[in-house]
Structure 1
Protein backbone atom coordinates (compact mmCIF):
# COMPACT_ATOMS: atom_id res chain seq x y z
CA UNK A 1 0.00 0.00 0.00
CA UNK A 2 1.19 3.50 -0.78
CA UNK A 3 1.93 5.75 2.16
CA UNK A 4 2.88 9.40 2.63
CA UNK A 5 5.21 9.99 5.57
CA UNK A 6 5.29 13.30 7.43
CA UNK A 7 7.55 14.43 10.21
CA UNK A 8 6.23 15.59 13.56
CA UNK A 9 7.15 19.20 14.20
CA UNK A 10 10.35 19.49 16.28
CA UNK A 11 10.07 15.83 17.24
CA UNK A 12 12.43 13.24 15.73
CA UNK A 13 10.84 10.29 17.53
CA UNK A 14 7.53 10.12 15.64
CA UNK A 15 6.23 9.99 12.08
CA UNK A 16 2.76 10.56 10.70
CA UNK A 17 1.70 8.00 8.09
CA UNK A 18 -1.14 8.85 5.74
CA UNK A 19 -2.59 5.68 4.17
CA UNK A 20 -5.77 5.85 2.08
CA UNK A 21 -6.62 9.22 3.64
CA UNK A 22 -6.29 7.75 7.14
CA UNK A 23 -3.63 9.12 9.51
CA UNK A 24 -1.48 7.05 11.85
CA UNK A 25 1.34 7.86 14.27
CA UNK A 26 4.47 5.70 14.19
CA UNK A 27 6.84 5.66 17.18
CA UNK A 28 10.48 5.35 16.10
CA UNK A 29 11.87 5.30 19.63
CA UNK A 30 9.67 2.84 21.46
CA UNK A 31 12.39 0.22 21.97
CA UNK A 32 16.10 0.17 22.74
CA UNK A 33 16.51 -2.59 20.15
CA UNK A 34 15.24 -0.28 17.43
CA UNK A 35 17.78 2.32 18.51
CA UNK A 36 20.59 -0.23 18.31
CA UNK A 37 19.38 -1.93 15.12
CA UNK A 38 17.36 0.55 13.03
CA UNK A 39 16.85 -1.96 10.20
CA UNK A 40 14.46 -3.84 12.52
CA UNK A 41 11.87 -1.28 11.39
CA UNK A 42 11.84 -2.98 8.00
CA UNK A 43 12.03 -6.57 9.27
CA UNK A 44 9.23 -6.63 11.85
CA UNK A 45 5.70 -5.15 12.03
CA UNK A 46 5.47 -1.84 13.86
CA UNK A 47 2.57 -0.61 16.00
CA UNK A 48 0.81 2.46 14.64
CA UNK A 49 -1.93 4.54 16.25
CA UNK A 50 -4.85 5.80 14.21
CA UNK A 51 -5.72 9.49 14.58
CA UNK A 52 -9.34 10.25 13.73
CA UNK A 53 -9.17 13.98 14.49
CA UNK A 54 -7.60 15.75 11.51
CA UNK A 55 -7.05 18.86 13.60
CA UNK A 56 -4.63 16.90 15.79
CA UNK A 57 -2.78 15.70 12.71
CA UNK A 58 -2.35 19.25 11.45
CA UNK A 59 -1.03 20.35 14.84
CA UNK A 60 1.59 17.61 14.76
CA UNK A 61 2.74 17.87 11.17
CA UNK A 62 6.01 19.47 10.29
CA UNK A 63 5.40 22.38 7.89
CA UNK A 64 5.54 21.12 4.31
CA UNK A 65 8.47 23.37 3.44
CA UNK A 66 10.59 21.46 5.96
CA UNK A 67 9.73 17.98 4.71
CA UNK A 68 12.93 17.60 2.67
CA UNK A 69 14.62 14.31 3.48
CA UNK A 70 18.25 15.33 4.01
CA UNK A 71 18.82 13.93 7.49
CA UNK A 72 20.92 11.02 6.34
CA UNK A 73 23.11 13.24 4.19
CA UNK A 74 23.62 15.61 7.08
CA UNK A 75 24.57 12.69 9.30
CA UNK A 76 27.23 11.50 6.88
CA UNK A 77 28.45 15.07 6.44
CA UNK A 78 28.74 15.44 10.22
CA UNK A 79 30.77 12.25 10.38
CA UNK A 80 33.05 13.45 7.59
CA UNK A 81 33.59 16.77 9.33
CA UNK A 82 34.38 14.97 12.59
CA UNK A 83 37.00 12.84 10.84
CA UNK A 84 38.49 15.94 9.18
CA UNK A 85 38.69 17.80 12.49
CA UNK A 86 40.30 14.77 14.11
CA UNK A 87 43.00 14.77 11.43
CA UNK A 88 43.58 18.51 11.82
CA UNK A 89 43.92 18.14 15.58
CA UNK A 90 46.28 15.18 15.37
CA UNK A 91 49.40 17.33 16.02
CA UNK A 92 47.81 18.43 19.31
CA UNK A 93 46.80 15.00 20.53
CA UNK A 94 49.84 14.65 22.79
CA UNK A 95 48.50 17.48 24.94
CA UNK A 96 45.33 15.48 25.64
CA UNK A 97 46.97 12.20 26.62
CA UNK A 98 45.83 10.56 29.86
CA UNK A 99 48.15 8.58 32.09
CA UNK A 100 46.00 5.63 33.12
CA UNK A 101 45.89 1.85 32.89
CA UNK A 102 43.80 -0.13 30.37
CA UNK A 103 41.54 -1.23 33.23
CA UNK A 104 40.76 2.36 34.19
CA UNK A 105 40.31 3.24 30.52
CA UNK A 106 37.79 0.42 30.15
CA UNK A 107 35.80 1.81 33.07
CA UNK A 108 35.86 5.25 31.44
CA UNK A 109 34.55 3.70 28.21
CA UNK A 110 31.70 2.01 30.07
CA UNK A 111 30.79 5.28 31.78
CA UNK A 112 30.88 7.11 28.43
CA UNK A 113 28.59 4.52 26.82
CA UNK A 114 26.12 4.73 29.72
CA UNK A 115 26.18 8.53 29.50
CA UNK A 116 25.36 8.49 25.78
CA UNK A 117 22.48 6.08 26.35
CA UNK A 118 21.13 8.27 29.16
CA UNK A 119 21.24 11.32 26.89
CA UNK A 120 19.45 9.36 24.15
CA UNK A 121 16.76 8.17 26.55
CA UNK A 122 16.32 11.68 27.91
CA UNK A 123 15.78 13.13 24.43
CA UNK A 124 13.39 10.25 23.73
CA UNK A 125 11.45 11.11 26.87
CA UNK A 126 11.24 14.79 25.92
CA UNK A 127 9.90 13.87 22.48
CA UNK A 128 7.22 11.69 24.04
CA UNK A 129 6.29 14.39 26.52
CA UNK A 130 5.91 16.95 23.73
CA UNK A 131 3.70 14.62 21.68
CA UNK A 132 1.51 13.79 24.66
CA UNK A 133 0.75 17.48 25.10
CA UNK A 134 -1.27 17.12 21.90
CA UNK A 135 -2.43 13.49 21.87
CA UNK A 136 -2.06 10.40 24.08
CA UNK A 137 -1.33 7.31 22.02
CA UNK A 138 -2.88 4.83 24.45
CA UNK A 139 -6.28 6.43 23.78
CA UNK A 140 -6.05 5.70 20.04
CA UNK A 141 -6.87 2.50 18.18
CA UNK A 142 -3.82 0.41 17.37
CA UNK A 143 -2.75 -1.50 14.27
CA UNK A 144 0.49 -3.14 13.17
CA UNK A 145 2.20 -2.78 9.82
CA UNK A 146 5.44 -3.33 7.98
CA UNK A 147 7.26 -0.33 6.56
CA UNK A 148 9.23 -1.00 3.39
CA UNK A 149 12.39 1.05 2.76
CA UNK A 150 11.79 3.07 -0.37
CA UNK A 151 13.67 3.97 -2.42
CA UNK A 152 16.62 1.56 -2.22
CA UNK A 153 18.88 4.61 -2.01
CA UNK A 154 17.43 5.41 1.40
CA UNK A 155 17.99 1.86 2.62
CA UNK A 156 21.61 2.02 1.47
CA UNK A 157 22.07 5.43 3.08
CA UNK A 158 20.75 4.37 6.49
CA UNK A 159 22.65 1.08 6.49
CA UNK A 160 25.86 2.73 5.29
CA UNK A 161 25.61 5.54 7.83
CA UNK A 162 24.87 3.10 10.64
CA UNK A 163 27.78 0.78 9.81
CA UNK A 164 30.16 3.71 9.23
CA UNK A 165 29.54 5.27 12.63
CA UNK A 166 29.35 1.91 14.42
CA UNK A 167 32.69 0.72 13.07
CA UNK A 168 34.37 4.02 13.93
CA UNK A 169 32.84 3.93 17.41
CA UNK A 170 34.21 0.45 18.15
CA UNK A 171 37.62 1.25 16.67
CA UNK A 172 37.97 4.47 18.64
CA UNK A 173 36.87 2.89 21.91
CA UNK A 174 39.50 0.19 21.45
CA UNK A 175 42.06 2.87 20.58
CA UNK A 176 41.17 4.83 23.71
CA UNK A 177 41.68 1.79 25.94
CA UNK A 178 45.15 1.25 24.49
CA UNK A 179 46.10 4.91 24.00
CA UNK A 180 43.99 7.03 26.38
CA UNK A 181 43.38 10.49 25.02
CA UNK A 182 40.63 13.02 25.71
CA UNK A 183 40.16 13.86 22.02
CA UNK A 184 39.74 10.21 21.08
CA UNK A 185 37.13 9.81 23.81
CA UNK A 186 35.19 12.91 22.71
CA UNK A 187 35.05 11.83 19.06
CA UNK A 188 34.09 8.31 20.08
CA UNK A 189 31.17 9.62 22.11
CA UNK A 190 30.11 11.75 19.14
CA UNK A 191 30.09 8.73 16.82
CA UNK A 192 28.16 6.66 19.36
CA UNK A 193 25.64 9.49 19.67
CA UNK A 194 25.10 9.37 15.90
CA UNK A 195 24.75 5.57 15.97
CA UNK A 196 21.99 5.83 18.57
CA UNK A 197 20.12 8.33 16.40
CA UNK A 198 20.29 6.29 13.19
CA UNK A 199 16.82 4.92 13.99
CA UNK A 200 15.43 8.45 13.65
CA UNK A 201 15.97 8.35 9.88
CA UNK A 202 14.96 4.71 9.31
CA UNK A 203 11.52 5.84 8.14
CA UNK A 204 12.14 8.77 5.85
CA UNK A 205 9.80 11.66 5.22
CA UNK A 206 8.23 11.29 1.79
CA UNK A 207 6.59 8.38 0.00
CA UNK A 208 6.99 4.71 0.91
CA UNK A 209 5.02 1.47 0.93
CA UNK A 210 3.48 -0.32 3.90
CA UNK A 211 1.62 -3.54 4.57
CA UNK A 212 -0.78 -4.07 7.45
CA UNK A 213 -0.28 -7.22 9.49
CA UNK A 214 -2.79 -9.84 8.44
CA UNK A 215 -3.16 -8.23 5.00
CA UNK A 216 -5.58 -5.74 6.46
CA UNK A 217 -6.91 -3.34 3.87
CA UNK A 218 -7.55 0.19 4.90
Structure 2
Protein backbone atom coordinates (compact mmCIF):
# COMPACT_ATOMS: atom_id res chain seq x y z
CA UNK A 1 0.00 0.00 0.00
CA UNK A 2 1.45 3.35 -1.04
CA UNK A 3 1.10 6.69 0.65
CA UNK A 4 3.05 9.78 1.65
CA UNK A 5 3.70 10.28 5.34
CA UNK A 6 4.94 13.37 7.18
CA UNK A 7 6.46 12.75 10.61
CA UNK A 8 6.55 15.84 12.86
CA UNK A 9 8.57 14.92 15.95
CA UNK A 10 11.31 16.92 17.68
CA UNK A 11 13.03 13.91 19.28
CA UNK A 12 15.52 12.90 16.54
CA UNK A 13 16.09 9.41 17.93
CA UNK A 14 12.38 8.63 18.10
CA UNK A 15 11.81 10.16 14.67
CA UNK A 16 14.69 8.21 13.11
CA UNK A 17 13.29 4.90 14.30
CA UNK A 18 9.75 5.75 13.22
CA UNK A 19 10.84 6.95 9.78
CA UNK A 20 12.89 3.77 9.28
CA UNK A 21 9.86 1.57 10.07
CA UNK A 22 7.60 3.56 7.77
CA UNK A 23 10.06 3.47 4.87
CA UNK A 24 10.61 -0.24 5.40
CA UNK A 25 6.84 -0.65 5.09
CA UNK A 26 7.01 1.07 1.69
CA UNK A 27 5.83 4.58 2.54
CA UNK A 28 7.41 7.74 1.17
CA UNK A 29 8.25 9.45 4.43
CA UNK A 30 9.47 12.96 5.29
CA UNK A 31 10.45 14.25 8.71
CA UNK A 32 10.88 17.55 10.52
CA UNK A 33 11.24 18.42 14.17
CA UNK A 34 10.29 22.10 13.86
CA UNK A 35 6.72 23.36 13.93
CA UNK A 36 7.26 26.25 11.53
CA UNK A 37 8.97 24.02 8.96
CA UNK A 38 6.25 21.40 9.44
CA UNK A 39 3.59 23.88 8.37
CA UNK A 40 5.46 24.62 5.15
CA UNK A 41 6.10 20.94 4.42
CA UNK A 42 2.49 20.03 5.16
CA UNK A 43 1.26 22.65 2.70
CA UNK A 44 3.80 21.73 0.01
CA UNK A 45 3.87 17.93 0.21
CA UNK A 46 0.14 17.33 0.77
CA UNK A 47 0.78 14.12 2.73
CA UNK A 48 -1.82 11.38 3.10
CA UNK A 49 -1.02 10.92 6.80
CA UNK A 50 0.68 13.25 9.30
CA UNK A 51 2.16 11.80 12.50
CA UNK A 52 2.16 14.81 14.79
CA UNK A 53 3.84 15.44 18.13
CA UNK A 54 2.12 18.12 20.20
CA UNK A 55 5.15 19.70 21.90
CA UNK A 56 7.27 21.29 19.18
CA UNK A 57 9.64 24.23 18.85
CA UNK A 58 8.13 27.04 16.82
CA UNK A 59 4.48 26.35 16.09
CA UNK A 60 2.85 23.80 18.41
CA UNK A 61 1.32 20.60 17.09
CA UNK A 62 -2.20 21.69 18.04
CA UNK A 63 -1.78 25.03 16.28
CA UNK A 64 -0.47 23.24 13.18
CA UNK A 65 -3.50 20.98 13.16
CA UNK A 66 -5.88 23.88 13.72
CA UNK A 67 -4.43 25.88 10.82
CA UNK A 68 -4.52 22.98 8.38
CA UNK A 69 -8.09 22.05 9.25
CA UNK A 70 -9.10 25.69 8.79
CA UNK A 71 -7.67 25.37 5.27
CA UNK A 72 -9.84 22.25 4.75
CA UNK A 73 -6.81 19.96 4.59
CA UNK A 74 -8.01 16.33 4.65
CA UNK A 75 -4.80 14.52 5.60
CA UNK A 76 -5.34 11.88 8.26
CA UNK A 77 -3.58 12.90 11.48
CA UNK A 78 -2.17 10.65 14.20
CA UNK A 79 -1.20 12.51 17.36
CA UNK A 80 1.80 11.36 19.40
CA UNK A 81 0.89 12.05 23.01
CA UNK A 82 2.62 11.64 26.36
CA UNK A 83 0.82 9.34 28.77
CA UNK A 84 -0.21 12.13 31.13
CA UNK A 85 -1.55 14.47 28.44
CA UNK A 86 -5.13 13.15 28.23
CA UNK A 87 -6.54 16.67 27.97
CA UNK A 88 -4.22 17.45 25.06
CA UNK A 89 -5.27 14.24 23.33
CA UNK A 90 -8.94 15.18 23.65
CA UNK A 91 -8.27 18.70 22.41
CA UNK A 92 -6.38 17.20 19.47
CA UNK A 93 -9.33 14.98 18.58
CA UNK A 94 -11.68 17.95 18.88
CA UNK A 95 -9.41 19.98 16.61
CA UNK A 96 -9.56 17.33 13.91
CA UNK A 97 -7.08 14.54 14.61
CA UNK A 98 -8.14 11.06 13.52
CA UNK A 99 -6.14 8.92 15.92
CA UNK A 100 -3.55 9.10 18.67
CA UNK A 101 -0.73 6.93 19.97
CA UNK A 102 0.56 7.21 23.53
CA UNK A 103 4.29 7.55 24.22
CA UNK A 104 6.29 5.42 24.67
CA UNK A 105 4.93 3.55 21.67
CA UNK A 106 5.83 0.64 19.43
CA UNK A 107 6.88 1.87 15.95
CA UNK A 108 5.14 -1.19 14.54
CA UNK A 109 1.90 -0.07 16.16
CA UNK A 110 2.20 3.31 14.46
CA UNK A 111 2.76 1.62 11.09
CA UNK A 112 -0.37 -0.48 11.66
CA UNK A 113 -2.38 2.65 12.49
CA UNK A 114 -1.13 4.29 9.29
CA UNK A 115 -2.07 1.20 7.28
CA UNK A 116 -5.56 1.19 8.77
CA UNK A 117 -6.14 4.85 7.89
CA UNK A 118 -4.94 4.42 4.31
CA UNK A 119 -6.84 1.16 3.82
CA UNK A 120 -10.05 2.79 4.99
CA UNK A 121 -9.58 5.79 2.69
CA UNK A 122 -8.84 3.46 -0.23
CA UNK A 123 -11.87 1.31 0.45
CA UNK A 124 -14.26 4.25 0.76
CA UNK A 125 -13.01 5.92 -2.42
CA UNK A 126 -13.07 2.81 -4.60
CA UNK A 127 -14.54 2.91 -8.10
CA UNK A 128 -17.59 0.92 -7.00
CA UNK A 129 -18.58 3.75 -4.69
CA UNK A 130 -18.09 6.67 -7.04
CA UNK A 131 -21.81 7.15 -7.72
CA UNK A 132 -23.14 5.80 -4.43
CA UNK A 133 -24.81 8.03 -1.89
CA UNK A 134 -26.66 7.54 1.36
CA UNK A 135 -29.62 9.69 2.35
CA UNK A 136 -31.13 9.95 5.81
CA UNK A 137 -33.72 12.68 5.94
CA UNK A 138 -31.98 15.99 5.18
CA UNK A 139 -28.54 14.34 5.33
CA UNK A 140 -26.82 13.16 2.14
CA UNK A 141 -23.49 11.32 2.20
CA UNK A 142 -21.65 10.97 -1.13
CA UNK A 143 -19.23 8.08 -0.61
CA UNK A 144 -17.09 8.49 -3.72
CA UNK A 145 -16.06 12.14 -3.33
CA UNK A 146 -16.33 11.81 0.47
CA UNK A 147 -18.70 14.74 0.72
CA UNK A 148 -21.68 15.25 2.98
CA UNK A 149 -24.47 17.81 3.04
CA UNK A 150 -27.15 18.52 5.62
CA UNK A 151 -30.18 20.65 4.85
CA UNK A 152 -28.46 21.72 1.66
CA UNK A 153 -25.20 22.93 3.19
CA UNK A 154 -21.81 21.31 2.85
CA UNK A 155 -20.32 19.86 6.01
CA UNK A 156 -16.62 20.49 6.70
CA UNK A 157 -15.69 17.07 8.09
CA UNK A 158 -12.37 15.50 8.96
CA UNK A 159 -11.54 12.06 7.57
CA UNK A 160 -12.67 10.28 10.71
CA UNK A 161 -15.80 12.41 11.15
CA UNK A 162 -16.83 11.50 7.61
CA UNK A 163 -16.18 7.80 8.23
CA UNK A 164 -18.30 7.87 11.39
CA UNK A 165 -21.14 9.78 9.75
CA UNK A 166 -21.10 7.47 6.72
CA UNK A 167 -21.24 4.43 9.01
CA UNK A 168 -24.24 5.85 10.87
CA UNK A 169 -25.96 6.72 7.58
CA UNK A 170 -25.45 3.18 6.32
CA UNK A 171 -27.11 1.76 9.46
CA UNK A 172 -30.08 4.05 10.24
CA UNK A 173 -31.98 3.17 13.38
CA UNK A 174 -29.32 0.73 14.57
CA UNK A 175 -27.66 1.34 17.92
CA UNK A 176 -23.92 0.83 18.35
CA UNK A 177 -21.89 0.92 21.54
CA UNK A 178 -18.71 2.97 21.71
CA UNK A 179 -16.68 -0.27 21.68
CA UNK A 180 -18.49 -1.41 18.51
CA UNK A 181 -17.85 1.92 16.82
CA UNK A 182 -14.17 1.77 17.75
CA UNK A 183 -13.95 -1.65 16.13
CA UNK A 184 -16.04 -1.02 13.04
CA UNK A 185 -15.11 2.59 12.21
CA UNK A 186 -11.64 2.95 13.73
CA UNK A 187 -10.58 -0.67 13.25
CA UNK A 188 -9.46 -0.92 16.88
CA UNK A 189 -10.13 -4.04 18.92
CA UNK A 190 -9.42 -1.98 22.02
CA UNK A 191 -8.97 1.71 22.72
CA UNK A 192 -10.16 4.77 24.58
CA UNK A 193 -13.94 5.22 24.28
CA UNK A 194 -13.50 8.98 24.70
CA UNK A 195 -12.32 8.99 21.07
CA UNK A 196 -15.85 8.11 19.99
CA UNK A 197 -17.40 10.58 22.43
CA UNK A 198 -15.33 13.45 21.02
CA UNK A 199 -16.14 12.62 17.40
CA UNK A 200 -19.86 12.31 18.10
CA UNK A 201 -19.76 15.68 19.83
CA UNK A 202 -18.00 17.24 16.85
CA UNK A 203 -20.56 15.77 14.44
CA UNK A 204 -23.38 17.21 16.51
CA UNK A 205 -21.75 20.64 16.50
CA UNK A 206 -21.70 20.53 12.69
CA UNK A 207 -25.14 18.94 12.20
CA UNK A 208 -27.48 19.96 14.98
CA UNK A 209 -29.10 23.36 15.50
CA UNK A 210 -28.80 22.64 19.24
CA UNK A 211 -25.99 20.14 19.91
CA UNK A 212 -27.13 19.79 23.53
CA UNK A 213 -30.50 18.50 22.28
CA UNK A 214 -29.57 16.38 19.23
CA UNK A 215 -32.25 15.30 16.76
CA UNK A 216 -30.11 13.35 14.28
CA UNK A 217 -27.21 11.63 16.08
CA UNK A 218 -28.88 10.25 19.18
CA UNK A 219 -27.56 8.84 22.43
CA UNK A 220 -29.10 5.51 23.42
CA UNK A 221 -28.70 4.37 26.99
CA UNK A 222 -25.40 5.17 28.65
CA UNK A 223 -22.91 4.28 25.93
CA UNK A 224 -24.66 3.81 22.58
CA UNK A 225 -25.45 5.97 19.56
CA UNK A 226 -27.67 5.76 16.51
CA UNK A 227 -28.78 8.00 13.68
CA UNK A 228 -32.46 8.93 13.45
CA UNK A 229 -34.50 8.37 10.31
CA UNK A 230 -34.57 5.92 7.42
CA UNK A 231 -31.90 5.38 4.81
CA UNK A 232 -32.38 5.83 1.08
CA UNK A 233 -29.34 4.04 -0.35
CA UNK A 234 -28.56 5.15 -3.90
Normalization by structure 1: what TM-score? 0.25
Greater helix share, structure number: 1
Larger relative contact order, structure 1 or 2 (CA cutoff 8 Å, min sep 6): 1
Normalization by structure 2: what TM-score? 0.23
